[in-house]
């Protein structure tokens, strides 16, 4: 390159940061947050080790300096390395019953799209199934039984005539109701890693004691008005589920909020019900809720754009949940105005 075409040091630095910022971020972020990990090892504080992992994964998820789904695999490496969970336990959390049901549901949705069935039975399904929660499927085995049947059944009803020996017989193979090639090409497999990583982080938070530390840190709200405490639990729930699966965070925070309710003498339902609903109102990251992951995966939305677009809906969700909890909550659940006797007995023990 000629001397007059050489870049100045400042321009070279800008160019390097512009095209290589991801590589620099993957090195700088762990180094900047390294004191948390060092303090955790020196004082044998596994909860701080877990915080170090969560902070790094959150930054990597937001900036996408490492591919989103690769970041979701960090718990497999670091939870066993930090001595929080065994490798077997961590890996099993990437294939839980809830995750298998989620994958099976996506495959069934793709099957409907593959057969063009959604144009014919959308209204009929609503009329037949309705909106009753008692009709929800809670077993992954049932979901995948339906998937296997779809791979086995042919697309033409004349197949059953051939099975009975009735002519005429077809001279070619029949297509199944579902094609593996279609599933392989259209299934967002990375979502399994994304949601599984959330479950692993949640379990690591519980085992390491990070969840307990969070509950103990809220002891200062004992003298705070009840409505403010409800708002605090809603904000904590949304903040925690932003970086982990809402289903997993619910399993962690619900016991924490129950203990908090006993400590401040508030009916446990006032803290657990609004916070549980709030865990589905986090719109900032794909890992927050399965719908977020589906939208991000299918629409190829960058995480930073989702984070910016999700700020206003998340804030509105916090406000609406809090208003409903302190107004309609008292109307629908009038017994929550008083601290129940059973909770008082549990508090004494």
Residue 182 is predicted with a pLDDT of 85
pLDDT tens profile 172-207? 666 777 888 888 888 888 878 888 887 888 788 888
Per cent of the chain over pLDDT 70 is 78
Mean pLDDT of 214-240: 81
For the chain, the structural domain boundaries read: 23-66, 97-186, 209-348
Per the model's pLDDT, the better-predicted residue between 246 and 94 turns out to be: 94
Confidence at residue 126, expressed as pLDDT on a 0 to 100 scale: 44
The per-residue pLDDT for 104 is 85
pLDDT band for 123, please (50, 70, 90 cuts): very low
Q: How far is Cα 272 from Cα 197, in angstroms, rounded to an integer?
A: 24
Nearest CA to 328 out of 230, 237, 239 is that of: 230
In this predicted structure, what is the pLDDT of residue 316? 92
Taking the C-alpha atoms of residue 79 and residue 91, their distance in angstroms, rounded to an integer, is 10
In sequence order, what are the residues at sequence separation of 6 or more whose Cβ sits closer than 8 angstroms to the Cβ of residue 319? none
* Band (60; pLDDT cuts 50, 70, 90): confident
Comparing CA positions, the residue from 300, 296, 205, 189 lying closest to residue 244 is 205
Q: Tell which residue, 241, 209, 211, 193, has the closest CA to residue 75.
A: 193
């Amino acid at each position: 390159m000629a001397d007059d075409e050489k870049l100045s040091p400042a321009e070279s630095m800008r160019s390097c940061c512009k095209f290589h910022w991801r590589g620099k971020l993957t090195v700088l972020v762990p180094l900047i947050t390294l004191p948390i990990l060092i303090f955790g090892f020196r004082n044998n504080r596994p909860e701080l080790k877990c915080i170090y992992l969560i902070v790094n994964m959150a930054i990597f998820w937001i900036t996408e300096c490492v591919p989103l789904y690769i970041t979701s695999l960090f718990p497999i490496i670091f939870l066993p390395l930090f001595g929080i969970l065994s490798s077997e336990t961590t890996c099993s959390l990437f294939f839980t019953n809830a995750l298998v049901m989620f994958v099976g549901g996506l495959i069934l949705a793709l099957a409907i799209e593959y057969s063009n069935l959604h144009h014919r039975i959308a209204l009929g399904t609503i009329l037949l199934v309705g909106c009753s929660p008692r009709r929800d499927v809670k077993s992954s085995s049932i979901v995948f039984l339906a998937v296997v049947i779809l791979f086995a059944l042919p697309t033409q009803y004349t197949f059953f005539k051939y099975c009975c020996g009735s002519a005429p017989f077809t001279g070619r193979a029949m297509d199944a109701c579902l094609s593996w090639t279609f599933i392989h090409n259209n299934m967002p497999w990375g979502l399994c890693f994304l949601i599984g990583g959330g479950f692993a982080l949640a379990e690591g938070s519980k085992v390491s004691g990070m969840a307990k530390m969070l509950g103990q840190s809220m002891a200062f709200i004992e003298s705070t008005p009840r409505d403010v405490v409800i708002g605090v639990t809603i904000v904590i729930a949304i903040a925690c589920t932003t970086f982990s699966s809402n289903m997993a965070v619910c399993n962690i925070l619900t016991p924490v909020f129950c203990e908090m309710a006993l400590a401040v003498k508030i009916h446990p339902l006032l803290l657990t019900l609004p916070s549980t609903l709030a865990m589905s109102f986090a719109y900032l990251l794909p890992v927050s809720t399965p719908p977020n992951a589906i939208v991000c995966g299918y629409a190829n939305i960058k995480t930073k754009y989702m984070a910016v677009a999700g700020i206003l809906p998340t804030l509105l969700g916090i406000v609406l949940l809090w208003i409903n909890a302190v107004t309609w909550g008292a109307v629908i659940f009038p017994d929550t105005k008083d601290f129940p006797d059973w909770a008082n007995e549990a508090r004494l023990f």
